[in-house]
Amino acid sequence: MIYGATEAARSILEEFFKRARSSRSWEELLGAIDYLYRACESRPYSSLLINASRDIFQDFLLSNSSNVSDAIASISASISRVFEMVRNMTLQAALIASKRIQDDETIFTISYSGTVLKIFENLVARGARVRAIVTESRPFGEGVEMAKALKSLGVNVTLIVDSAIRSFIKRASRVVIGAEAIAANGSIINKIGTALLAIAARESRIRLFVVSGSYKIVPETFFGELVGSPEIELKDIPQDLVSMGVKAWIPLFEAVPAEYIDAIITEKGLTSPHAIPYIVRETFGSWPPRVRRLDDLYRDVRSKILERLEKT
Amino acid sequence: MIPEEVLRIAEDIRSMRIRGAGRIARATAEALMIAAEGYKGDLEGFARYMEEVSRVLLSTRPTAVSLPNAVSYIMKAVRKGYGDVREAVEAVVKVATEFKEYSEKALELIAEIGSRIVDDGATIVTHCNSSAVVSILARAWSEGKRFRVYATETRPRYQGYITARDLASRGIPVVLITDSAMTYAVRRADLVLVGADAITSNGALINKVGTSQVALVSRTYGVPFYVAAETYKFSPYTLVGEIVEIEERDPREVLDPLIDGIEVRNPAFDATPPEYIDAIITEIGIISPEMAILVITDFLGHVAMPETVRGYEDSEATNAL
């Protein structure tokens, strides 16, 4: 079971790499590329997956390999580079965040975030006596997994239902969360329930920090595209309700407006959410970002492979 | 000896087989009636016996004010002077029946008044399960208004399923959502409507945990937030400075089995400040939450006097006066 945004994207990239590496022909490699693109299409919210795929496609086009094994080598190199980069970004962002947190704080968090766990790891290593409050995060209960992970780190952790956020928020010194995606205007996309937490934190003047590698910024949002969220059906409702026609669905993710966020911490530092364009300039090399859309790149990658196929 | 059936009702209230403030109040009246009818002793021991039954009932759920309100309504009759036991028992049966009838009637009146704020075509959000809310929506639906309802599942005990059943069985379209999706639902809603476990003398609402954050989100997005509550849910104790104790229930309702090293907190209720409440729909009319004081004093007849300050529940003291 995969809980965090980074972990989920990584497992798809690993599956793609497994398929690409075992390809013996251009057809098989095309199959692997199709798998990756379809995974991106069905996860428009997974910023990390989309940005990583963009890099992989761009590297592939640049390498212009003439045989399959060269192409695989180039993909292998770009995947290693992406993994390395994501790892470093996460570590750096977590390090900056843990420096900001004092030794005796109570951190409120939601769902499961590998980045947030890394912060706690740093704090524990420093000898800080931090406490954590986590909501169970229905419908999948990732908060329970987060509580278990925090407990294994030796953090004093309290688990509550999602409905009890406002009842417990005043006990926290700070809210620290990860992100599924960061949009152009500094708002973030995260697991359902995060907006509730942000509004409750603002009401009680508890600061909210988002910690995430800059890889979570979705450049497409600069061109007006919304980060979509899949609606999921709640599977565990009683059968008699289903037969009565009761519907049970919710979006998996939701947006938190920038004005509820006190700071976004990326590997580039701690900034206001409204300063995301600054991070974009640093990450994508320019403002506005000159990035090619993933569907464009995919089309080019496909036609390049088909070209090679015809030749053989 | 307290009759078996009375103890069973008390246990059902404690274990939440009987739940919802209105139902608890009616079950309490019923239990006191059964206790009175089953009394075997003499007149002298009757009041003491009924006090003991009251204590058993009062110990079941600390937060629901409807329970002590029902008890004090009926115990007033116990404390009057009677010629013999039969006369005393008859008086208790009479007021208990009166209370139950009043409670049913109150629901009908709330349904009638509340249905007027439900617009045709509206989207309504509710949290937990409230017979007052269900009666309002059922009434509006039967009048031909068409609307849809988002019901939160209400962790940890999923009372939202009961709401969904109550509404869907009448043909009302219901979408169940997780409590975590409150913001999503409220942003799409025209009205938020919830029940009450208690209303304090300054107009705060005590209701199922999560209610205060639905209210907060409603205020954030400018969606009207209404409460449906019978007047016996208004707490006279808060008038004299008592706090409403928030019941903390078994953590295994949240996480079962518990995990060593993870603390689980499970408060059953929370407090919504009056400034987040647009209005309270009662059987005597729609009031602003700040007018809760009028319900407690002028309508329910409680005033802060030295003897009431000493304690409503301390009947020994009341009897001595």
Residues B96, B127 within the same domain:
no
Q: Report the number of distinct structural domains present in chain B.
A: 2
Decide if A97 is inside a domain. Answer: no
Check if the beta carbon of residue A144 is closer than 8 Å to that of residue A233.
Answer: no
Would you place residue B307 in the very low, low, confident or very high pLDDT band (cuts 50, 70, 90)?
low
Q: Which of B164, B175, B184 sits opposite A192 (nearest CB)?
A: B184
**Inter-chain CB proximity B178 and A135 less than 8 Å:** no
Average pLDDT over residues A142-157: 97
Check if the beta carbon of residue B237 is closer than 8 Å to that of residue B308.
Answer: no
How many beta carbons lie within 10 A of that of residue B303, not counting itself? 12
Give, in degrees to the nearest 5, the angle at Cα A212 between A209 and A213: 150
CB-based contacts of B289: which residues, under 8 Å, 6+ apart?
B199, B203, B204, B205, B227, B274, B277, B279, B280
Residues B120, B251 within the same domain:
yes
Mean pLDDT of chain B: 92
Q: Report the number of distinct structural domains present in chain A.
A: 2
Flag whether pLDDT at B310 surpasses 60.
no
- pLDDT on residue B62: 79
Residues B159, B260 within the same domain:
yes
Q: Among residues of chain A, what percentage have pLDDT more than 70?
A: 98
Give the minimum alpha-carbon distance from A244 to chain B in angstroms, rounded to a whole number: 6
Q: Which of B178, B213, B217 sits opposite A139 (nearest CB)?
A: B178
Q: Is B197 considered catalytic here?
A: yes
Chain A residue closest in CA terms to B221: A199
- pLDDT on residue A132: 98
Residues A155, A273 within the same domain:
yes
Give the minimum alpha-carbon distance from B254 to chain A in angstroms, rounded to a whole number: 7
**Inter-chain CB proximity B178 and A161 less than 8 Å:** no
Higher-confidence position of B229 and B68: B229
Higher-confidence position of A280 and B158: B158
Residues A125, A265 within the same domain:
yes
Residues A170, A239 within the same domain:
yes
**Inter-chain CB proximity B154 and A163 less than 8 Å:** yes
Decide if A190 is inside a domain. Answer: yes
Flag whether pLDDT at B168 surpasses 50.
yes
**Inter-chain CB proximity A193 and B180 less than 8 Å:** yes
Residues A304, A158 within the same domain:
no
Residues B271, B310 within the same domain:
no
Residues B115, B101 within the same domain:
no
Domain that holds residue A195: 103-284
Would you place residue B309 in the very low, low, confident or very high pLDDT band (cuts 50, 70, 90)?
low
Residues B97, B142 within the same domain:
no
Check if the beta carbon of residue B57 is closer than 8 Å to that of residue B31.
Answer: yes
Flag whether pLDDT at B321 surpasses 60.
no
**Could you tell me the CATH number of the domain that includes residue A112?**
3.40.50.10470
Decide if A38 is inside a domain. Answer: yes
A177-232 pLDDT, tens digit per residue, is: 999 999 988 999 999 999 999 999 999 999 999 999 999 998 877 766 667 788 89
Cα dihedral A73, A76, A82, A84 in deg (nearest 10) = -110
Give, in degrees to the nearest 5, the angle at Cα A304 between A301 and A308: 140
Residues B151, B270 within the same domain:
yes
Chain A residue closest in CA terms to B208: A163
Cα dihedral A187, A193, A199, A201 in deg (nearest 10) = -100
**Could you tell me the CATH number of the domain that includes residue B251?**
3.40.50.10470
- pLDDT on residue A103: 96
B7-34 pLDDT, tens digit per residue, is: 999 999 999 999 888 899 999 999 999 9
Residues A37, A165 within the same domain:
no
Find the helix packing angle between A68-100 and A47-63, rounded to 10°: 140
Please tell me the least confidently modeled range out of A245-254, A279-288, B270-279. Answer: A279-288
Residues B91, B222 within the same domain:
no
- pLDDT on residue B305: 67
Residues A120, A226 within the same domain:
yes
Flag whether pLDDT at A155 surpasses 80.
yes
Identified catalytic residue from B12, B197, B256, B314: B197
Q: Is B84 considered catalytic here?
A: no
Helix (H, G, I), strand (E, B) or coil at B189: coil
Average pLDDT over residues B76-91: 91
Would you place residue B237 in the very low, low, confident or very high pLDDT band (cuts 50, 70, 90)?
confident
Q: Which residues of B touch A168 (CB under 8 A)?
A: 265
Residues A275, A167 within the same domain:
yes
Flag whether pLDDT at A233 surpasses 60.
yes
Residues A224, A303 within the same domain:
no
B103-120 pLDDT, tens digit per residue, is: 999 999 999 999 999 999
Residues A23, A144 within the same domain:
no
- pLDDT on residue B203: 97
B273-302 pLDDT, tens digit per residue, is: 999 999 999 999 999 999 999 999 888 877
Average pLDDT over residues A73-100: 95
- pLDDT on residue B315: 40
Residues A141, A231 within the same domain:
yes
Residues B136, B99 within the same domain:
no
Residues B125, B261 within the same domain:
yes
Would you place residue A312 in the very low, low, confident or very high pLDDT band (cuts 50, 70, 90)?
confident
Would you place residue B319 in the very low, low, confident or very high pLDDT band (cuts 50, 70, 90)?
very low
Check if the beta carbon of residue A161 is closer than 8 Å to that of residue B264.
Answer: no
- Which residue, chain included where needed, has tokens 């919210």? A45
Chain B residues contacting A via beta carbons under 8 Å = 152-156, 161, 164-165, 168-169, 173-184, 208-210, 212-213, 216-217, 220, 254-255, 259, 261-267, 270
- pLDDT on residue A288: 82
Q: Which of A137, A164, A166 sits opposite B265 (nearest CB)?
A: A164
- pLDDT on residue A225: 67
Flag whether pLDDT at B256 surpasses 80.
yes
Residues A74, A130 within the same domain:
no
Domain that holds residue B270: 109-299
Mean pLDDT of chain A: 93
Flag whether pLDDT at B308 surpasses 70.
no
Decide if A112 is inside a domain. Answer: yes
Flag whether pLDDT at A242 surpasses 90.
yes
Would you place residue B317 in the very low, low, confident or very high pLDDT band (cuts 50, 70, 90)?
very low
Give this complex's ipTM. Answer: 0.92
Residues A120, A222 within the same domain:
yes
Residues B75, B197 within the same domain:
no
Tell me which amino acid residue A127 is: G
User: Mind spelling out the 3-state secondary structure of B198-257?
Assistant: EECCCCCEEEECCHHHHHHHHHHCCCCEEEECCHHHECHHHHCCCCCCCCECCHHHCCCC
User: Mind spelling out the 3-state secondary structure of A122-146?
Assistant: HHHHHCCCCEEEEECCCCCCHHHHH
Decide if A95 is inside a domain. Answer: no
Decide if A93 is inside a domain. Answer: no
Average pLDDT over residues A275-292: 86
Cα dihedral B32, B34, B38, B43 in deg (nearest 10) = 30
Residues B205, B86 within the same domain:
no
Decide if A163 is inside a domain. Answer: yes
A14-66 pLDDT, tens digit per residue, is: 999 999 999 999 999 999 999 999 999 888 888 989 999 999 999 999 998 88
Decide if A96 is inside a domain. Answer: no
Integer Cα distance of A112 and A3 in angstroms = 6
Q: Is the peptide bond before B156 cis (omega within 30 degrees of 0)?
A: yes
Q: Which of A111, A156, A166 to mutate to test the interface with B (most CBs of B within 10 A)?
A: A166
